[in-house]
């Protein structure tokens, strides 16, 4: 049992304001409570923002040289590395991620990101000189934006946290993190690691809680910038709140990404690539390839290859290293995904494999079998709405232009992929699809050097790469009169 009855605010663990509720974290596999975390309240939000505000306005952190902050985050990365196994086990237990995926993507990838951001910060142009048009010398200084509210969901909790917190801290900002209730425990473990790294008080604070805590934080007048990852519906509300307070905001929202399989692609290779890119974390990934566009003349071949791979996946206990598909994070998510499966059947799509029934041998847990639909059209709900589960929809197209038209016929624009024997042809397709990220012969990989983010209803702003540091800075222009 993981129990936390304090909040990490101003560099120390302290009791919350009186009368706060406890968050029960439930295993998606056993349906048993595995731990508790205390939920922050309005007074705790005020206290955390005030601590972050003081750390930024009068503390040493934003006034340090970049090299000093890099040294501190490098120290944190070393401590994080020592606790990798603990972090992976905890994330697997709280959200149901298969332990092999938790070790690789939920923990090792964030650690890689932390180290990569330190490298980017070392090469970052924090200050540059320009010659002005009026004979003056112009200095452009990259200054930290201020107090950052980082709001992250449960599906990739450490990855999404690190991609916000690391660049914000390296830029000289202070951060208040609001994790989701389902993944409150790993955020508390991260706070332990930050405390061990001995960062200045108030630089990093953690406020577990539900939507109401996020609303208080986003609207707080002491916050300068909001970085939010979540649903498009919630992102709209965050954007409105930030507009009202004239805060800077970055939004990484939902997706309904298309995998375009061209007529020259190898069926088995494409199926394997799509399976890896679409069903990791039980499909609970924002850039999952959930619409599979295949040429009419080869539809059966591609559907058979996909179905064979999906039907052979191991579904079960996330603690088992052989498990490929774990449970969904909550019963509400299981019911939601089952609802989409029934919708696909009622709208006339062909259920090829999977379905709403529990997998064989499992009596408890919020599981959904890997599910594949064919004979679908792009106007069906399963093709237009983000399901956030292990459900893939195959749509046939006439020619390349038709495939690109279907891919772009979506309110989302987060990611996408093309599978082809001709890489240059693949790059040509990528240039015609309106999305923030794209993969050729693979799902889009979260390379630390490449900016990540969406267009349309998938949000705006970029994370990762040097652009990820840009997101937490403001440009200050300083002009100097020529000496007389």
Closest to 211 (Cα-Cα) out of 332, 374, 53, 39: 39
Closest to 410 (Cα-Cα) out of 393, 390, 391: 393
The residue assigned the tokens 């993190």 is: 177
Q: How far is CA 245 from CA 238, 242, 472, in A?
A: 11, 5, 17
Structure tokens at 268: 């088995």
C-alpha triplet 235, 237, 238: angle, nearest 5°: 65
How far, in Å, CA of 53 to CA of 57, rounded? 6
| Residue in 94, 252, 400, 463 annotated catalytic | 252
C-alpha 468: how far from chain center: 13
Start-end of H helices in 201-330: 211-219, 232-245, 267-279, 299-311
The residue assigned the tokens 């070393």 is: 78
Which residues 6+ apart lie within 8 Å of 254 measured at CB?
A: 231, 232, 286, 386, 412, 414, 457, 458
Answer yes or no: 335 catalytic: no
Count the neighbouring beta carbons within 10 Å of the beta carbon of residue 124: 19
Phi, psi of 396 (to 5 degrees): -85, 145
Closest to 297 (Cα-Cα) out of 264, 320, 326: 264
The residue assigned the tokens 């697997």 is: 92
How do beta strands 7-9 and 12-14 pair? antiparallel
How far, in Å, CA of 352 to CA of 316, rounded? 21
Which residues 6+ apart lie within 8 Å of 83 measured at CB?
A: 189, 193
Q: What is the DSSP string of 89-120?
A: HHHHHHH---HHHIIIIIIIHHHHHHHHHHHH
Bridge partners of 139, per DSSP, are: 129, 478
Residues belonging to the active site: 252
């Amino acid at each position: 049992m993981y129990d936390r009855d304090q909040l990490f605010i101003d560099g120390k663990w302290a009791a919350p304001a009186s009368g706060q509720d406890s968050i029960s974290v439930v295993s998606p596999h056993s349906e048993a409570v595995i731990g508790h975390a205390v939920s922050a309240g309005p007074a705790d939000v005020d206290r955390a923002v005030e601590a972050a505000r003081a750390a930024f306005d009068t503390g040493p952190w934003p006034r340090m040289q970049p090299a000093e902050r890099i040294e501190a985050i490098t120290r944190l990365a070393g401590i994080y590395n020592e606790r990798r196994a603990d972090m992976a086990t905890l994330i697997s237990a709280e959200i149901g991620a298969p332990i092999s995926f938790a070790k690789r993507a939920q923990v090792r990838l964030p650690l890689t990101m932390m180290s990569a951001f330190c490298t980017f910060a070392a090469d970052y142009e924090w200050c540059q000189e320009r010659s002005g048009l009026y004979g003056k010398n112009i200095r452009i200084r990259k200054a930290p934006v201020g107090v950052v509210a980082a709001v992250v969901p449960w599906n990739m909790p450490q990855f999404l946290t690190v991609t916000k917190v690391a660049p914000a801290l390296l830029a000289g900002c202070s951060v208040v993190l609001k994790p989701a209730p389902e993944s409150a425990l790993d955020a508390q473990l991260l706070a332990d690691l930050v405390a061990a790294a001995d960062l200045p008080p108030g630089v990093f604070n953690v406020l577990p809680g539900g939507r109401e805590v996020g609303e208080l934080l986003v609207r707080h007048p002491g916050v300068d910038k909001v970085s939010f990852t979540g649903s498009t519906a919630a992102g709209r509300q965050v954007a409105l709140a930030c507009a009202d307070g004239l805060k800077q905001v970055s939004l990484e929202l939902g997706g309904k990404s298309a995998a375009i399989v061209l007529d020259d692609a190898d069926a088995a290779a494409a199926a394997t690539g799509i399976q890896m890119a679409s069903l990791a974390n039980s499909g609970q990934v924002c850039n999952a390839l959930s619409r599979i566009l295949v040429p009419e003349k080869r539809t059966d071949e591609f559907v058979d290859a996909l179905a064979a791979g999906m039907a052979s996946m191991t579904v079960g206990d996330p603690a088992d290293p052989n498990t490929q598909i774990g449970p969904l994070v909550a019963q509400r998510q299981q019911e939601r995904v089952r609802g989409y499966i029934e919708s696909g059947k009622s709208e006339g799509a062909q259920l090829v494999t999977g379905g709403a029934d529990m997998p064989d041998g499992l009596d408890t847990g919020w599981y959904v079998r890997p599910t594949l639909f064919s004979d679908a059209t792009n106007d069906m709900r399963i093709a237009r709405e983000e399901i956030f589960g292990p459900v893939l929809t195959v749509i046939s197209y006439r020619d390349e232009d038709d495939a690109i038209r279907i891919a772009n016929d979506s309110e989302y624009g987060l990611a996408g992929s093309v599978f082809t024997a001709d890489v240059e042809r693949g790059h040509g397709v990528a240039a015609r699809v309106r999305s923030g990220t794209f993969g050729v012969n693979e799902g889009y990989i979260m390379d630390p050097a490449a900016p990540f983010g969406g267009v349309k209803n998938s949000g705006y702003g970029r994370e990762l790469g040097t652009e990820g540091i840009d997101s937490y800075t403001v440009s200050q222009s300083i002009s100097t009169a020529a000496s007389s």
